[in-house]
Every structure is written in structure tokens, then in C-alpha cells.
């Protein structure tokens, strides 16, 4: 029996590695102005390729992790 090879859409399997500032801000759900402020404060590291300012997927995850806090939710007495 001969197997038929069906091409798959490669974009479904490839993780995007670098984002533009606009894409990264949109991914985080914040304004570009706020995003640029975080870059200027050194809270988010950028990757420069020629004149382009790009953000790595790993850096966005690191930033999210750095802002994630566990808060204890008070248990209400009933």
C-alpha cells in the first residue's frame, strides 16, 4: 500500500522567534508608548538587527514571568 504524503502548513509548526515592537506590545496587550517606556527602563531587553529593534519570544516570556506574582486571596469567613 502506497502512503500519500499531504503537505502540511509549515506556519502551524514554526514558533515565531522575533517580534517587532508593535507586535510585541500587541502580544502583551499594552500600548506601544508603555512598551517603549519599559524598554527605556531596561525592563525588556531588545535584539538589534541592523536598524531594526526586535524582541525575542524568550524575552517576552521572561518579562511576563518577572511580573507574575502569587497573591494570597483571603478566605472569607461565613
For residue 11, being part of any structural domain is answered with: no
- pLDDT tens for the 78 residues of the chain, in order: 555 555 566 556 688 899 999 999 999 999 999 999 999 999 999 999 999 999 999 999 999 999 998 888 777 766
For residue 5, being part of any structural domain is answered with: no
For residue 77, being part of any structural domain is answered with: no
* Cell numbers describing residue 20: 517587532
* Cell numbers describing residue 32: 506601544
For residue 26, being part of any structural domain is answered with: yes
Domain that holds residue 45: 16-67
Domain count, the chain: 1
For residue 29, being part of any structural domain is answered with: yes
For residue 4, being part of any structural domain is answered with: no
SS3 sequence of 11-53: HHCCCCCEEEHHHHHHHHCCCHHHHHHHHHCCCCCCEEECCEE
CB burial of 10-38 (b: ≥16 within 10 Å; e: otherwise) equals eeeeeeeeebebeebbeebeeeeeebeeb
Amino acid at each position: 500500500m502506497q502512503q500519500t504524503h499531504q503537505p502540511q502548513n509549515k506556519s502551524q509548526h514554526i514558533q515565531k522567534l522575533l517580534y517587532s515592537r508593535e507586535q510585541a506590545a500587541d502580544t502583551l496587550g499594552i500600548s506601544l508608548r508603555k512598551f517603549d517606556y519599559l524598554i527605556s527602563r531596561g525592563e525588556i531587553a531588545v535584539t538589534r538587527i541592523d536598524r531594526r529593534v526586535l524582541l525575542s519570544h524568550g524575552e517576552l516570556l521572561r518579562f511576563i514571568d518577572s511580573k507574575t506574582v502569587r497573591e494570597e486571596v483571603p478566605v472569607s469567613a461565613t
